Amino acid sequence: MTTVFFQNNFEIEIIIRMICAAICGFVLGIERSRHGKAAGIRTYMVVSIGACIFAIASKYGFSDYVGMGRDADVARVASNIVSGVSFLGAGTILIVSDRVTGLTTAAGIWAMAAIGTAFGTGMYIVATIATLYIFVIQNLFHNKLTRKRVYVKVPGSVDIVMDSSEKSLNKVLGVFEKYQMDIDTTGIERHKDDSLLYRFAVNFPESTSIIDVVSDLSNIKNVQSVDM
């Protein structure tokens, strides 16, 4: 006896939607995985398929209930995807050395859920184009040349222990200027040995190499330590 897996074209349509969601999750997850992010191919694929299934369940899962003459909000499940998936995104956002990381990955997970939802409701063209848009954006603005041109800057801090001479301070400011680092605020603390601790709150281009900045600052005469 032959087992019938698909009783009608609708079931085939549902499976095609999940496959499309999985493929797009794979495509966007590649870029995150290439850059060593914790949320990569598997996370993006699972989020996309999960959102797709939620959308399908929201749109078609309660048809028998409604068919009995009862009212039901068919968009309730899909609407909660937006807030429900946020716990995954929140887990990828970290603060490391006064710098916030993981925002792009969090936004990507949120957008991936939207793409999966779109596939779940049968919006193939919209979901596919959205995948291409996000893929291009993530790759384009992760390119060092592009980031230098658009001058995306991120906040940070620099703590420097050095002598109190104006010459040393001018050299430090020269390094900041070299790497296009903007100073927001400055704090000064005097140590017992008459050295000064300068605390700079700065904004610097995302493409800036912190190692290079610390190296240049450390090579300045009378600079005792640099923490960035």
pLDDT (tens place) for every residue of the chain, 228 residues total: 344 444 567 778 888 888 888 888 888 888 777 766 666 777 788 788 888 888 887 777 666 555 555 555 666 666 777 677 776 666 666 655 555 567 677 777 788 888 888 888 788 888 888 888 888 777 766 665 555 554 556 778 888 888 877 788 888 888 888 888 888 778 888 877 778 888 888 887 766 778 888 888 888 888 888 887
Write down the pLDDT at residue 5: 47
Is 27 in the same domain as 123?
yes
Final residue in a domain of this structure, among 142, 174, 192: 142
pTM of the model: 0.51
Same domain, 137 and 212: no
Range(s) of the domain holding residue 198: 153-227
C-alpha separations of 191 from 117, 164, 168, 188, 194 in Å: 59, 11, 17, 10, 5
Residue 2 has a pLDDT of 41
| Whether the Cβ atoms of residue 108 and residue 28 lie closer than 8 Å to each other | yes
Query: CA–CA distance from 20 to each of 24, 55, 193 (Å)?
Result: 6, 14, 66
Strand order in the sheet with 182-190: 182-190, 196-205, 153-162, 223-227
Last residue within a domain, chosen from 86, 109, 142: 142
State the Cα–Cα distance between residues 110 and 15, nearest whole angstrom.
22
Residue finishing a domain among 103, 120, 142: 142
Asked if 56 and 16 touch (Cβ cutoff 8 Å), the reply is no
Q: Give the count of domains, the chain.
A: 2
CA 100 – CA 179 distance, rounded (Å): 20
Residue 138 confidence (pLDDT): 73
Q: Are residues 161 and 129 in the same domain?
A: no
Pair 132, 160 in one domain: no
Domain identity same for 88 and 51:
yes
Rounded to the nearest 5 degrees, what angle is found at the Cα of 132, between the Cα atoms of 143 and 138?
25
Domain membership flag for residue 1: no
